[in-house]
Structure 1
Amino acid sequence: MLSILGFSTIILFMFLVMTNRMSAFVAIIVSPIIFAIIGGFGAELGPMMLEGIKLVAPTAVLLLFAVLYFGIMMNAGLFDPVSRTILKIAKGDPVKIVIGTAILALLVALDGDGTTSYMIICSSMLPIYRKLGINPLVLATISVMSLGTISGMTPWGGAATRGISVLGLDATEYFTPLIPAILCGSAWIILTAYVMGRMERKRIGIIQLEKINQEMKANSEFAATVENAQAKTSKFVWFNFLLTLALMVALVLGLAPLPILFIVGFVIALSVNHPNLAEQKKVIKENASHAVPVVMLVLGAGIFTGILSETKMVDSMASDLLTIVPDSFGPFFTVIVAIISLPLSFLMSNDAFFFGALPVLAQSASEYGISPIEIARAGVIGQPLHSMGPTSAPLWVLLELVRRDLGQFQRYALIPVTILSLMLIVFALITGAISIAW
């Protein structure tokens, strides 16, 4: 009976989200409440929900201040020197421009917000692509690969945040072993950019970039972006760079819990870049609009997890799921999760996959002695494919910017993005982020 209630909760949640009947935040709270009441747990719902919220509170704090921090960095033009350097070095060579796009996209993806990342990349590089005649789908593909790898797998990105919160994991413990695999994936993206650049160089040759900056400023489509870029403050670029570098080093060394690191980093960044009180309020208000919806989802995930865990629905579902997987496949369960995350991530929203499927997979994996933290790492490997799937909202912004439809983009990007995802599984195995339980 508990298993039926649990699977019904997940099915209802996925149906409500994927058919746009309810927002993810509403659906993730309503679905478990309905079936908990049907199962006779109505009187115990309050404490169950509170336990779930306590579980995800650190992740919610981390996400809030990470988004606020990187919002300040973006507004301050932290990555502008990178963009200018790319153009200076490229000198009209499509290979260098596409590689530069990959480097910029990987850095900008640290923001964690897909829409913001795509807008920054396109406003910086798309005019160059158009002037040179480079296929905009190259830019779109590299951007999606970068966002799926960096934003999708870092603990302040939306996907990993969902996985960490729903499984009640420590963000630092999740992230640190995954860093080598992410770096290898980033190198693979740069290699892919080199191959794509070579193809474009063969097609259009090398073109001089004289006067292109002046032409970009005259381009009415990006006039607002250029005006905003000129308004950015650049006097603290080196300070912001060193602060971000120190934050990343402290994160890797585990000098303090991740939420504390980002709270302190945000306070320092806000005080230095915006010392005026009125300006601080304005900056917080602007950047909070990106963070609040996802923080709400994390808290909703806590309620979802609390109900399913405290009612033992998850335990019952996992036991039933184990009967499907042959015992001989048990040691490979982490790899199986990584592989099935590819098509599931492409077809499903992150809410449906991480809040619905991942907890069941993690509970099943525990029967083979596999830690939930490895299942979380395996689950995020499908993020590059998710980023090019129809349920990825930022993708529609990107397609609008490059003036291409979904079919054109998916036909062009499916093979390189799928190869990247498979390579991420290999990198994760080699570096020990995920393992086979021999």
Structure 2
Amino acid sequence: MLSILGFATILFFMFMVMTKRLSAFMAIVISPIIFAVIGGFGAGLGPMMMEGVELVAPTAVLLLFAVLYFGIMMDAGLFDPISRKILQVAKGDPVKIIVGTAILALMVALDGDGTTSYMIIGSAMLPIYRKIGINPLILATISVMALGTISGMTPWGGAATRAISVLGLDASEYFVPLIPAIVCGSIWILLTAYVMGLMERKRIGTELINKAAQELAMTSTAEAQYQTPKLIWVNFLLTLTLMIALVLGLAPLPILFILGTVIALLLNHRQLDDQKKIIKEHASNAVPVVMLVLGAGIFTGILSSTKMVDSMASDLLSIVPDSFGPIFTVIVALISLPLSFLMSNDAFFFGALPVLAQSAAEYGISPMEIARAGVIGQPLHSMGPTSAPLWVLLELVRRDLGSFQRFALIPVTILSLMLIIFTIVTGAISINL
């Protein structure tokens, strides 16, 4: 019964969002409440929702100040030199621009933080996309694929950290055999970007591309004349310091971005009126993101507290026949795709993964391989409703969740299936036939 309620909640949410009957915020709050009440959990909904909100509160604070910080940096022209350099190399060619996006996305995903990665990619590349006329959903799709592969599978990323800790594994032993598969996945992302670039080049047309490239080059040159190089370097050093502090873990991420925002305001907007104006301008971008994250907290809180999540994982596991024991690692990898998409990482790795590892032990499969199989679903998780950084990305590209998921679902699913093949071929996970 709990599984039915859980799957019904998720299907109802996706239907409402993808058919545009409700906004993502409305749907993510209303869906779990409806089915929790149907399941008889109405009396305890308040504490359940509050528990979920408390869980995501630090993320909401982080996203609020990350949006403000990078908004200030974009206004200050910090990323314009990068955009101009990419433009010089690409000469307006969508193939080169989109492949360049993939390279940048794979590099910045190494820091492990999705919000930061998306803000950097969007800040550097979106002006070019808009002026050339490239579909911004391509940037969003490539960014999600890169984050899910690099940050999702490396041991300093949130997903792998959870898998390693909950199963009591050694990080190096977990990671080293995965490196060839991650490299193969990165090459696949570049190939996907190349194909998307060819399609965009054909859609836009050579004449329009050349015209847009000339206009963009002239605009970039004009903008460069009015920028203060010293201030750009100061902002660059501030951002670099922030990234180093983030990687070293010198303070919690929300605190780092609060301090970074304060310093950025003092450096770039000395007057009180200017500070108020810039905060007001970027608040319109930040508030919807924070609302969605808090809504996702309610969604996760209800599904976790009612044990719907646990029941869904157990029922999915129960349908696996005993004869599939020798390929159970592959089964776990396949199961991780829908579960990662539908669940928060906490719910999947702390709730479902130990159950999967315990079942795998009956077939003589080590927890190490289950951990590697479990993170393969991260590209799909990165485009799911419980991925908090995704809401920042959607705000950047000015698209709703439904249109993004319709566009990205096929390429991201193909990437996830290819990652399963890559991990098998490279020996990161094994089949005992």
TM-score interval, normalised by the smaller of the two chains? 0.5 to 0.7
Contact 2:99–2:197 under 8 Å retained in 1? yes
1:120 paired residue number: 127
Partner of 2:311: 316
Aligned residues of 1:162 and 1:298 also touching (Cα < 8 A)? no
Question: Structure 1 pair 235/337, CA: closer, same or farther in 2 (3 Å)?
Answer: farther
* Pair 1:283 & 2:268 matched: no
Contact persistence 1:333–1:365 (CA under 8 A):
no
Secondary structure of 1:381's partner? helix
2:254 maps to what in 1? 259
Cα drift, residue 24 of structure 1: 1.7
Taking a change above 3 Å as real, the CA distance of residues 190 and 317 of structure 1, as seen in their structure-2 partners, is closer
CA spacing shift, 1:123–1:244, aligned 2, 3 Å: same
Query: 1:419 Cα shift?
Result: 7.2
Unaligned stretches of 5+ residues in structure 2: 109-114, 152-156, 166-173, 202-209, 358-366, 385-392
- Residue aligning to 1:380: 378
- Aligned residue in 2 for 1:32: 32
CA contact (8 A) 2:12 2:31 kept: yes
For residues 12-23 of structure 1, the aligned pairs below 5 Å read 12-23=12-23
CA distance in 2 between counterparts of 1:32 and 1:94 reads: 41
For residues 13-412 of structure 1, the aligned pairs below 5 Å read 13-88=13-88, 110-112=117-119, 119-123=126-130, 126=132, 143-144=139-140, 146-149=142-145, 215-216=215-216, 234-326=229-321, 328=325, 329-332=327-330, 335-337=333-335, 353-354=342-343, 359=347, 363-369=351-357, 377-382=375-380
What one-letter code is carried by the residue in structure 2 that aligns with 1:121? I
Tell me which residue corresponds to 1:4: 4
What is the RMSD computed on CA atoms of the aligned residues? 5.5
> How far apart in 1 are the matches of 2:281 and 2:371?
34
Shift of 1:424: 6.1
**1:27–1:195 CA distance, 2 compared to 1 (3 A):** closer
Residues 437 and 25 from structure 1, CA distance in 2 versus in 1: closer, same or farther, beyond 3 angstroms? farther
- The CA distance in 2 between the partners of 1:24 and 1:96, in whole Å, is 33
CA distance in 2, matches of 1:111, 1:286: 20
**Alpha-carbon distance, 1:367 to partner:** 0.2
Give TM-score, length-normalised by structure 2. Answer: 0.64
| Residue identity in the other structure for 1:148 | V
Distance in structure 2 (CA, Å) of the matches to 1:374 and 1:31:
32
TM-score (norm 1): 0.63
Q: Deviations over 1:117-168 (max 9, x none)?
A: 76412256x29xxxxxxxx68x985x3554334567799xxxxx9999xx9x
8 Å CA contact retained: 1:153, 1:380: yes
Contact 1:105 1:117 in 2 (8 A): no
CA contact (8 A) 1:110 1:150 kept: no
For structure 1, list consecutive stretches of 5 or more residues without a partner in the other structure.
Answer: 128-135, 156-160, 170-176, 202-209, 346-352, 387-391, 399-405
Please say which of residues 26-35 and 55-64 is displaced more in the overlay: 26-35
C-alpha change, 1:163 and 1:416, in structure 2 (3 Å) is closer
Q: Deviations over 1:94-115 (max 9, x none)?
A: 9977765656677798344998
CA deviation map 1:389-436 (0-9, x unaligned): xxx9789979xxxxxxx9xxx8xx99987776666668899999x978
Question: Does the Cα contact within 8 Å between 1:111 and 1:117 map onto a contact in 2?
Answer: no
Equivalent pair of 1:335/1:425 in contact (CA under 8 Å): yes
Matched to 1:32, the amino acid is P
**Which amino acid counterpart does residue 352 of structure 2 have in structure 1?**
S
The alpha-carbon distance between structure 1 residues 262 and 41, as it changes in their structure 2 partners (threshold 3 A), is: same
Kindly provide the CA deviation profile for residues 22-74 of structure 1, in whole angstroms up to 9, marking residues without a partner as x: 11211222222222222222222111111111111111111111111111111
1:348 equivalent in structure 2: none
In 2, are the aligned partners of 1:99 and 1:193 still within 8 Å (CA)? yes
Letter in 2 for 1:275: R
Answer whether contact 1:148 1:383 (CA < 8 A) is retained.
Answer: no
Matched letter for residue 301 of structure 2: G
Q: What SS is found at the alignment partner of 1:57?
A: helix
CA distance in 1, matches of 2:274, 2:183: 36
* 8 Å Cα contact 1:337/1:378 also seen in 2: no
How far apart are the structure 1 equivalents of 2:94 and 2:309?
51
* Structure 2 Cα separation of the partners of residues 232 and 100 of structure 1: 25
Q: Is the 8 A contact 2:52 2:302 kept in 1?
A: yes
Deviation string 1:187-244 (CA, Å, 9 cap, x unpaired) is 776687789999999xxxxxxxx999875477xxxx7x99878766654111121222
1:299-339 per-position Cα deviation (integer Å, ceiling 9, x unaligned): 11111222222222222222222112346254445532565
Distance 1:385 1:306 in 2: 19
Q: Which secondary structure does the structure 1 equivalent of 2:356 belong to?
A: coil
Distance, in Å, in 2 between the alignment partners of 1:427 and 1:240 is 40
Tell me, in whole angstroms, the C-alpha distance in 2 between the residues paired with 1:94 and 1:19.
Answer: 30
Provide closer, same or farther for how the CA distance between residues 298 and 384 of structure 1 changes in structure 2, counting only shifts above 3 A: closer
